[in-house]
Structure formats: C-alpha cells, structure tokens
Structure 1
Amino acid sequence: MMGGSNTKSTLAAYIYSSLKEGVAEMTLRTPNLDIKLALVLSAMEADYMLNKDTWVAQRKYFQLAILAYAFALGESSLTSDVLQKLEDLSQDQDDMMYWSTATQSVYKDNGRLYRSLPSGPSDIETASYVILAYTKMDNVIKGQRVLRWLMSQINGAGSFKSTQDTVIGLQAIAAISILIGKSSAGMNLTVDTDGILNKMLVVNDDNKFLYQKEKLPDDIMEVPFTVSGRGVALLTLNWKYNVMRQPLNSVPTFHIKAKTTFVNSNVFDVEIYIRLLVSSSIGQMALVTYKAPSGFVTNTDTIQGADRVENKDGKVIIYVSNMLMSRKEFRIQSTRDKDVASVKDEFVSAEMYYKPGSRSMVKYEIPEEVKLSACQLSKGENDVCPLPGNPSGAPVTTPTKLLLTLMSILMLLTNLN
C-alpha cells in the first residue's frame, strides 16, 4: 500500500503519517509517543538530505510526495524544500500540475487532437500526498493546481484506479475542500446549451461541501456557462468516449504458463508458473488471477507461497507482495460443484497491483476427461443419451419400452375388432 515504492524511507513516512494523524484525531494514547515520533522525523530528515539528489535524478515522485506530507505533519523545516523539488519535477498542462512516469497519449481523429493525461494508482497517490502537504502549509493556490488534475482522473463511479488510491485521493480532496470552504461562498453557475438545457447550480454556505451533478444531452459538443458571485468552486466535465488503438512496441510484463493435471472426472489441478520480465517492477506487489470454469469451485487451502488469497464467485486472486524476476509457482485445485456440460477453457492473468495496464494473460486447457457432456452428467438417465453397446448414439429400446409397445399394439388391434 505504498504507491509501488518499497523503500525504508517510504515505509517510515507512511507509518509516521498514520501515527501523526492518529495523534491529531486524539485516538492514540501511547507513552512517550511524541519523543519516538520526533526521533523518526529526525531520521527521515537525515535520510532525505543524504539521498535527495539521487531521488530527484531517479524521479522518485511518490517517495518525495509522501515525505513532503510526513514533513508537513511534523512541521519540519525541510517541507518547503521537498515541495520545491516536486514542483521542479512536475508536469504541467492546462494549469494542472501532476507527476507521472507514463507517456502522454495523443490521438487524432477527424482533425481533432485528443490528449489522454496518464495516470496510474501511484500517480494518484503522489498527487494526493502533495495536496495534503500543501493543505498543511495552507497553500491553496498550488494545491488547487494539483487538485484540478486529480479531479480529472475520477471515473464515472466516483473512484480512481484502485482501493488504496481512492482512499487517499478522497482524503486529499476532502482536506483541501475544507481549507477552501473556510471562506463564505455565494455563487451561481448557469449552464445554457442552446435552449436544450438551462440549469443553474447554486453554491452557498449550506451546500458548498456537497457534490452537484447534472446530466447533459448526449449529442452536445459545447457547454457554455457563466459564473457570478463570490467563492471558489471546481467545475469538471466528464465525457465518455471509446478510442480504438493498438499499443506500439509493448513489452509483456509477465511470462505465464498454466499446466493442467487430470485427477478424476470431477477434479483437476492447475499449476501456474509466472516470471516477471520488467526489471523496473521488481519488489512491487503483483496479482495473479485464476478463473475457475463454470460449475467448479476452487480450494484455496492448497495454494502455497502467496501473501494473501481471495476467492469470490469462482475467481481466485493471489497477492504477491514482493515480486522478483525469479519464477513463482502456484498449484490450484478445482472441483465440480454443479453439473455444467462441456465446460470451456478459462484464463490465468497476472498484473502489477499499481499498474493495471500491465496485465498478461494465458488460457489454460481443461482436461478432456473433465469436460463431461450432458449425457455423461445425467449418467444415461436421459432417454436420448446413447447407452453402452450403442456407439452410434441412436436411442435403444429397453425391454420395458418393448413390452409397453407390444401392449399398445394389442390394445389397438382389439379396438379395431
């Protein structure tokens, strides 16, 4: 839960910030905690002074961001220095400030240029910690520049890329919103789309912390609006569209191999072998996802070497907290739970937790002896199923059925006479 960084200084800053927040909320009552936290802060300051040039050269955005927040919480004199380093390293677009190691995606369609601002969970957390640091420094102006970028990354469900970055992202938005909201608000925002929609959004002291949303017509291309009054508000426009694109020079993150072993007609094992191919992801958390075929359940007790395992709705997620270049192996056993005929092959995938776009996937083949037909599952109880000794598959008349047939013929002849 550290934005893809697993250094000692980052972990120390994360724990220090959590403890300082706990003290601020009056929830911690540990003897000599202030003295211990002061020692931790001094150690982090010394580590920063020793390594800051290296971290800047290596563009350790997240590491610098979480240190900035920790220093701000501890009222360190180095807070401004870290924030200045981050500002020098920042990327700027449309008066938005952000940090990302990804390359900006640019698409051209019908003469229009579309730019996709890059973001991953680590980028979201970096921006969030910078906002929190600015908030502690009462620097709303610079905090708002980062806030604009952060708000542009919220998806239609109101969250970000993952659970952790959503938690810290919402914390940052709430913190700076409270700071902005200290002043009195009285604003009217009017949206007028050529008579199709005429809507006024009112922001005042009673609702300034509420999220207001208005759905626009599907075919609208321009959204003119006017604002009057006094205060600070953030207006975002969410536009959903699809772009077909093929990644260029993409390098797979993992090599995955899945080998199945037949146990019996209702049980099979899958041996999963994964190996990291990208050295820049060494030491980060990886997720291995196994999808059981329809009608099968998975026994997660047989999985060894995982830091954590989740099993829900036939999908098993294996957490590997410290992924290395060496091969990892997992053995999974699935057992038939419901009668589903002719089950289909399924997939195993692997991805870095903080890089959802890094997913690699491979199909595993279910043993043919497990892919039972409807007739095999019904054990021949179905009248149209072939019986032993009749490989052609045509229905066979049993003695009982023959007797019933003869009785029907005799009854018919009797009625005719």
Structure 2
Amino acid sequence: RPGKEPEVDLPYYHPRAPSAEVEMTAYVLLAALKTEPAPSQEELSFSSLIAKWISSQQNPNGGFSSTQDTVVALQALSQYGAVTYAKSGAASKVTLRSGGEFQQDFQVDATNRLLLQRVPLPQVPGEYSTEVSGEGCVYLQTSLRYNVQPMQEDAPFTLHVSTIPETCADSKAHKVFDIGINVSYTGERNGSNMVIVDVKMLSGFIPLKSSVRKLERHPIIERTELSTNHVLVYLEK
C-alpha cells in the first residue's frame, strides 16, 4: 500500500511493514495454500516468495507488529511449513564466519530442524559471511539490540515541592504538615493554557479540606477537587 516511510534515523534500522500489510499478505499466503487437491509447483514457488517476505518482517522475539498480524502470519507460515514438509533425512550445514578467526557451524537435520540455534557475534560492528551446504530449508536471522538515549527537551514548566517544616523534627509534623508547591511556566509563549496540578498525599496522610478550600481564594486558581489521597488544583494559566 502507498504510505510514508517511518521517520526513523537510526543505525542498522530496518523499517518493517505496517501491521495491516503483514496481515493481508498472510491471508494471501493462506489462500494460495488452500488449492485443492494440492498446490501446484508453480503455486508453491509463488508461496515461497510470500513466506520469505513475511519472515523478513518477523521481529527477534518471533512475533510481528501486533497480536492480530502475529496470529495470522504464524498461522500462514505454519501452513506453508506443513505443505512443504518432507520426511527425507536431508541435512544442511550453515557456516558463519567473520573476517577474523571466528567460525561457527550449525548442523540442521531431521532431529533438530525445529530447534532454535544461536550464537553471539564476537564483534559488532563487523563483517560476517554465511555459507550453506546440503539440502533442505534453513531460516537464518540476525538481530541487533541496542539502546538510544532519548533527546533532551526543555520542559515548559518548572516544579519545586517542599514540606513545611522541611524536617519531621517537630513531633507535631508527624501528624500535620503543609505541602509547598511552586509551579512556573517557562515555555516560549507569554502564558500557558489551563494547568492541572495533581498532588498525591504521602502514604498514611489525607488532605485537610479546610486548607485546600483556602486555595480557591487565589485569583488564578479556578477550582480544586479532593479525593482520598489526591488534591487537584485547576489553574487558569
């Protein structure tokens, strides 16, 4: 389907198709495999291209973009595997090499054809090559996991919270104390729109209604709301 490419500029990032495209393509594969009495060789060749594309959209955990497309895609791949299954004892050997001394061999035969085999790559980034010999079908996937620090943005508000008194040295403060909240708009405009300040009480404390009602005398405070352990303060700007 026509659409915009995802606006992601990350190293090694391979954009995946939207969930709807994976699901629709999986339905096409299921339909192609339903030919009675059995799919022809030409239809199986066509189906193999679809299965290859669906496999390329699979994430490192075995799923896809959503629950819906994962269920349909796995059903289609399973159906494709059932149709193309052969009981022959053909075996394949996959050799993974790097430019250095690293080499890893994977043997795939009838005894372990459904077993996941994996190895960590010793150096990333690096150049690796694979060589496959023998007969049969092998699904090879590489996955790279890394963290990207989020961009730091200037917050439009500053918030400072303190207790009065600041310490619980006074025995009275063990039962009753004030919460001081200083909120300032620091954005690019002259003022903000309506702001809601949500104050959650410390464990074991509840807001004193009379002290909260006094807040409404302030000219920019539109109203307040109370619950068991929350105080909501609505500021006009």
Q: TM-score range by the shorter chain?
A: 0.5 to 0.7
2:142 alignment partner AA: L
Q: CA deviation at 1:372?
A: 4.6
Do structure 1's residue 199 and structure 2's residue 104 form an aligned pair?
Answer: yes
- Kindly report the root-mean-square deviation, in angstroms, between the aligned alpha carbons of the 2 structures: 3.8
From the superposition, tell whether residues 221 and 372 of structure 1 become closer, same or farther in structure 2 (CA, over 3 Å).
closer
When normalised by structure 1's length, the TM-score is 0.33
Structure with bigger helix share is 1
Evaluate the alpha carbon distance shift between residue 146 and residue 240 of structure 1 in structure 2; reply closer, same or farther with a 3 A threshold.
Answer: farther
> Matched residue of 1:141: which SS?
helix
Q: Residues of 2 paired with 1:236 and 1:170: CA distance? A: 16
Tell me, yes or no, if structure 1 residue 371 matches structure 2 residue 199: yes
Deviation, 1:135, is 2.4
Aligned equivalent of 2:118, options 200, 203, 213 = 213
Contact 1:104 1:118 in 2 (8 A): no
Residue 124 (1) aligns with residue 26 (2)? no
Aligned partners of 1:187 and 1:231 also within 8 Å: yes
For 1:224 and 1:106, how far apart are their aligned partners in 2?
A: 30
- Residue 33 of structure 2 corresponds to which residue in structure 1? 135
Q: Distance in 1 between matches of 2:121 and 2:106?
A: 13
User: Per-residue deviation at 1:177?
Assistant: 1.7
1:149-187 Cα shifts (integer Å, max 9, x gaps): 211222232211111111111111111122232252311
* Corresponding residue of 1:152: 56
Q: 1:205 to 1:155 in 2, by over 3 A?
A: same
Contact map agreement 1:128 1:150 (CA 8 A) in 2: yes
Contact 2:93–2:105 (8 Å) recurs in 1 = yes
Distance, in Å, in 2 between the alignment partners of 1:234 and 1:160 is 16
Change (3 A) 1:240 1:145: farther
Percent identity between the aligned chains?
A: 26
Deviation (angstroms), 1:134: 2.5
Q: 1:334-384: CA deviations, max 9, x gaps?
A: xxxxxxx99xxxxxxxxxxxxxxxxxxxxx965x5x61554992679xxxx
Which whole-Å CA distance do the structure 2 matches of 1:376 and 1:240 have between them?
A: 43
Q: Does 1:236 align with 2:64?
A: no
Letter of the 1:136 partner, please give it: K
In 1: Cα distance, 2:97 partner to 2:15 partner: 28
Distance 1:365 1:107 in 2: 32
Distance in 2 between residues matched to 1:107 and 1:161, nearest whole Å: 16
Give, in whole Å, the separation in 2 of the partners of 1:172 and 1:165: 10
Cα 1:104–1:192 change in 2 (3 A) is same
Alignment match of 2:81 (pick from 171, 174, 177)? 177
Aligned to 2:128: 223
Alignment of 1:7-46 (within 5 A): none
**Following TM superposition, by how much is the alpha carbon of 1:237 offset from its aligned partner in structure 2, in angstroms?**
2.3
Find out whether 1:103 has 2:17 as its counterpart: no
1: CA distance, partners of 2:114 / 2:98: 26
Instruction: Tell me if the contact between 1:188 and 1:227 (Cα under 8 Å) persists in the aligned partners.
Output: yes
Alignment CA distance shift 1:372-1:125 (3 Å) = closer
Give the structure-2-normalised TM-score: 0.54
* Deviation digits for residues 211-245 of structure 1 (CA, Å, limit 9, x no counterpart): 3333223514222111111112222222346789x
Q: Where do 1:329-368 residues align within 5 Å? A: 366=196, 368=197
- Residue 410 of structure 1 corresponds to which residue in structure 2? none
Structure 2 gaps, min length 5? 152-178, 181-193, 209-237
